[in-house]
Structure 1
Amino acid sequence: MWEIFKTFFILGCISFGGPAAHIGYFRETFVQRLAWLSERQYAEYVALSQFLPGPGSSQVGFAIGYHRLGLKGACSAFLGFTIPSVTIMLLLVISTGELAGNGVFQSVIHGLKLLAVVVVFDAILLMYKNFCKDTPRILLCLITACTLLISPSVIEQILVLIFAAVIGVFFLKENKEDTTKKKKHCLICNVCTLINYKPLVLFLLLLFVLPLLMFFYPAMPASISVFSDFFQAGSLVFGGGHVVLPLLQNIVEGQVTADQFLTGYAIAQAVPGPMFSLATYIGYLILPSEPIVGALIATIAVFLPGFLLLLSCLKNWQRLSKIPSLAAAMNGVNTAVVGLLISALYQPVFVSAVFNSIDMAIVLIGVYLLKRQRLPIMWLVLLFAVIGVLLKLI
C-alpha cells in the first residue's frame, strides 16, 4: 500500500498539463516502467474513465490502485495523487486574502486568467474533434451551447444532459443493430445485471435523498450543504476536469464572486495534479466559519461520485460498454458537454479575464504557443504570470 501511495504522490507532484498529460504519465509509469498492468487493461481503464462522469485521470489512477490492491490500493492511489495539489491550493487560498491588495500578485492572477481562456479554448477544440463528428452531434452541441448561454442555471444544465442522452439513444448509435439477445431486455435490465449495487446505491442516496433531507430539514449544518452541492457537481462532470468549471460556477453562485471563482480556476491551471482541486479553493471560501473543513469536504465530495460509479461497473466494464443504447446515450452526453464548455468559455472565463484588445491579443498568442508550438503548460504558466506583471507596468 505504501508503494502505491508513494508512486502516486510523486506523480501528483510533477503531473502538470491536465488530464491528457496525466494519462501519459500513468502509462509510462504503470505499464511501461513498473508493469503493474498490460496495455489492454490500461486502455480499458482509460475508456471507462471517459464513459463515466468524474475526474478522468483520477479515475484511471483509482482503477490502477484497485487493480493492484483492491479498495485499499485505490484509496492509496487517490490520496497520493491528490494530496499535493490539494495542499498547494489550500496554501494559496489562505495566502490569497493576505495578498489581495498586492499589485504584483493581482497582476500574476490576471495573467493566469488569460491563460485560463487559452486552456479552456484548447479543451473545447479537442473535445469538439472527438465528440462532434457529424451533423447531428454538431447540432446537439450548438443547441446546448445556445441554451446555456441564454439560461446558464444548474437546472438547465441537468435538463440538457438528459435531453442529450435521450437524443443519443435514438440517433447516435454506432451500431444500429442490436443482437437478438439484447432485444429481449431493455437498457435498464441489461445494465442492472452487470453493476455492483452497493456503491451505486450509496451514489443514488447521496445524489437524490440528501438534497431532499436538506429541503425538509433546512436547519442541517452548512457543511452538509457544501457536501451535497459539490457531490452534485461531481456527478455531472462528463468529459474531463474543465467541465467542472460551469457546473461549480452555477452551484456556488452568490456564495463567491465571479472574480474569486476565476482566480481559483486560474490557480488550478498552475498546480500539478487533478483540475478538481479547484473544489479545495472554492470550499475554503464558501464555509468561512470552518474554511479548512469546507475545503476538505468540498474536495472529497466532488471526487466521490466518480469513484462510486467506477466501483459500480469496474468488474463488468467490457460487457457494459458493448450495450449499444448505453454507449449511444453517452455519445449524446459527451456531445452536449462540448456545448456546455463553450458556454463556460464566454461566462465566466472570457468576460472575467479579457478586458481590452491587448488582453485579446495575448490570448491569441497563447493559443498559437499551445497549439502550434506545443509549449508545455508549465512554461505557459510562467510566461503568462510574467505577462500579467508586465501589463501592470505598461
Structure 2
Amino acid sequence: MSLHTLPLLSQLPAASWDALLPKPQPFLRHAFLSALEDSGSVGGRSGWQPSHRLWCDEHGTVQAVLPAYLKQHSYGEYVFDHGWADACRRAGIGYYPKLLGAVPFSPVTGARLLGDAHAAGQLLDALTAGLDAEELSSLHINFTSPACDAVVVQRPGWLERLGCQFHWHNRGYRDFQDFFDALSSRKRKQMRKEREQVAGQGIEFDRRLGHELSETDWDFVYHCYANTYHVRGQAPYLTRDFFSLLAERMPEMIRVVFARQHGRPLAMAFSLVDGDTYYGRYWGCLAEFDRLHFETCFYQGMELVIAEGLQRFDAGAQGEHKLIRGFEPVLTRSWHYLCHPGLYAAVADFLEQERPGVLAYAEEARSYLPYRQA
C-alpha cells in the first residue's frame, strides 16, 4: 500500500473517484470538484492548490481518498483559524502552507475520507507522518461526517472543533400551509407578513432545473453571485466558467430560484440537491427589496423541499436569522493535526474553552425556534 498525490482530478477517471463515495452528495462528486479545477476557481493564484491524497494497493487500485488542497491562506473555509495563523506569525512559526481536507467554499458536512474505512485510516496515518517532510505545518479536515469522525478519533494528535449551523427539516409537510400550522401564532403571522410584503411589491418567482437554463441565464446567475462580493469590496471565489461546467456535468442536481418584477429578473438563489437534502449555496440580487432575501433563499427553498419530498434544507454557514424561520441548530465538526508542539498545546487549550460555549449557544438557540410547544 502506498500514498500518492493527485494534483489534478482530471488525471483520475470520474468512475474511479465516484465509486468511493458513500452517497451521491453533489459536492464530493468528480463533476463538482473537477469543475472547480477546470474553471480556475481553485489552482493558479487562488491559494487553493489541489493536492488530493490517494491510498493505493500494490496493483495501483485506489482504496481510499482524501480530497485535499494546499492552502496559502484561510479564506473560503468557514472554519476560522485566522487567530491561530496570526499567533504563529507573532511567534515566528510558519503556519502556511497547510493541508486542508475540504470542499472549497462549501461549509457542508459530508464524507471526507472516501473509500474503505481501514484503508482511510492507513492513509491518514501515512499523511500525518509525512507532514514535516512536506514542510507543512498542519493538516485540517473540515465539516466531517460521523463515519469520518470515527476514523479520526481513534488516532492520537488530532484536535476536535465544534461549530453550529442551522438546518430546516421537512417533517412530512403536505404543503407550506402545513408547515405554517406547526408554528406558534405570533411567528406564523410574522412569516405570513414577510411573504405578503414581497408579493405586494409585484415580485414573482420561478424555479428552474439545471438543464433548463441557457448561457444567458447563467450570465445573470453569475452577475448576482459576484455582486454579493463586489458590494463588500471583495473578489468572488468562483469564476463564471464554473457554473457552465457544473450545468454541463451535473444538471440534474441544480436548482435555481429566480425572482422577477414585472418580468424583469431581480435576484436568484442557486442550490444543489441529492437524494434527501437541498443545499442552499449562492444568492445575489441586482436591486434591494424589503424581505426579498428571506423569500428567495428560505421560503422558496422550503416550498421546493416539500414539493420534491426532500427531508432537509442545509442553508450553509452563519445566520441566527434562520432560527425564527424554523431552521434548527446542528453541530458540525472539524479536526486539526498541528505539528508544532507549542501551537498544538495553545490550540488544544483554546478549543477546550471554546467547546462549552458552542454547546451552550446551540442549546440556547433552540429557545428561539418558532414551533408550537408540544
Q: TM-score, normalised by structure 2?
A: 0.26
Select the structure that is richer in strand. Answer: 2
Q: TM-score, normalised by structure 1?
A: 0.25
Where relative contact order (Cα < 8 A, 6+ residues apart) is larger, the structure is 1
Select the structure that is richer in helix. Answer: 1
